Amino acid sequence: MTILVTGGAGFIGTNFIFDLLSESRELVVNLDKLTYAGNRHNLTKLTDQEHRLVEGDIGDRELVDKILNDYAPTHVVNFAAESHVDRSIHGPRDFVDTNVLGTFNLLESVRAYFDKLSSEKKEKFRFLHVSTDEVYGSLGPGDPPFTENSPYAPNSPYSASKAASDHFVRAYHHTYGLNVLTTNCSNNYGPYQFPEKLIPLMILNALAFKPLPVYGDGLQIRDWLHVSDHTRAIKLVLKKGEIGQTYNIGGQAELANITVVKTICEVLDSLVPDPQGRRRSSLITYVKDRPGHDRRYAIDPGKIFDKLGFEPLRKFEEGLTETVKWYLNNGAWVQNVQSGEYRRWIDKQYGQN
């Protein structure tokens, strides 16, 4: 098989490619725009026989058409997206361009490619679109978790752009017969995550004894999913998922943000105690909440459990400790991604830290 992975130099895409190639010898063609969150150095240990990195935009029809014609992939997995809510509040246009128009143009190219395939190849072909639980909006404290039948109610420019892309993917199946699958996942964490997101931001700030900015009261609840569990689930959906269906992927680990931050502090205090005896929880700084901040997300993963036999293997405490150790052991990677652009963003969002 040849698999086209879009956005494969980002956090989840990188982990998916490593997971995929750890147990099979498919050729992965990786199309990535290599913006601030895409890092070509993530994948340098892979050989040309198993991985080809192409720098480019999913919205570039000419480039995507050429990749499809040159490599004839049997599967397309679409991770490519702008994915940070805070950035979408400051600059929503980038999210429309990539998540909506980019996905549309990618679908157009894939549809033209799919239409030319033989019946046998069409039957095997899959287009898997990776999305988020944020398209469903916010839950109250006693509300049941999101299911695949939950109505869409996006509350940020990011989630609205992902909702639009989900709808286009669905429409291309029902209108054109494209073999699509969609996954909506809960909050991911693990190695290679760009440190603007909560867990790596808190790890690196706490390690450097910088303030730990927590929005509002810190009681926003998220369902945490280790990226390795997410990538296993995606492989299962590719292999066993029913065409046209959506599968919600959750980690069954609902935690308040402040609990996550305090746990990170405890793990770091244990692994790297401060010679001066300072506790990193003293660095927690409550900052003004972001506009439209969703209060709670939670995923009901019953469908993927029952239909495909998936269940998460990493308990949150175990996965978080492993993640902290990864950032401790990969200082060169951290230093590389903490560029001037990254520092400017942190200063803009949280003030001088």
Catalytic residues: 133-134, 158
Strand partners, 226: 189
Residue 119 CB-half CA count within 13 A = 0
Alpha-carbon gap, residue 154 to 161, rounded angstroms: 9
Beta bridge partners of 131: 184
SS3 content of the chain, % helix, strand, coil (to 5): 50, 15, 35
Is residue 131 helix, strand or coil?
Answer: strand
Q: Give the tokens for residue 18.
A: 């490593």
- In whole angstroms, what is the distance from residue 269 CA to residue 69 CA? 53
Helix 103-115 to helix 157-176 angle (10° resolution) is 20
For 98-245, strand residue ranges (E) read 126-132, 180-185, 187-189, 212-215, 221-226
Angstrom distances, CA of residue 53 to CA of 29, 79, 109, 228, 279: 6, 14, 19, 22, 43
Taking CA atoms, 306 is separated from 51, 167, 301, in Å, by: 33, 25, 9
Two structure tokens written together for 223: 């369902």
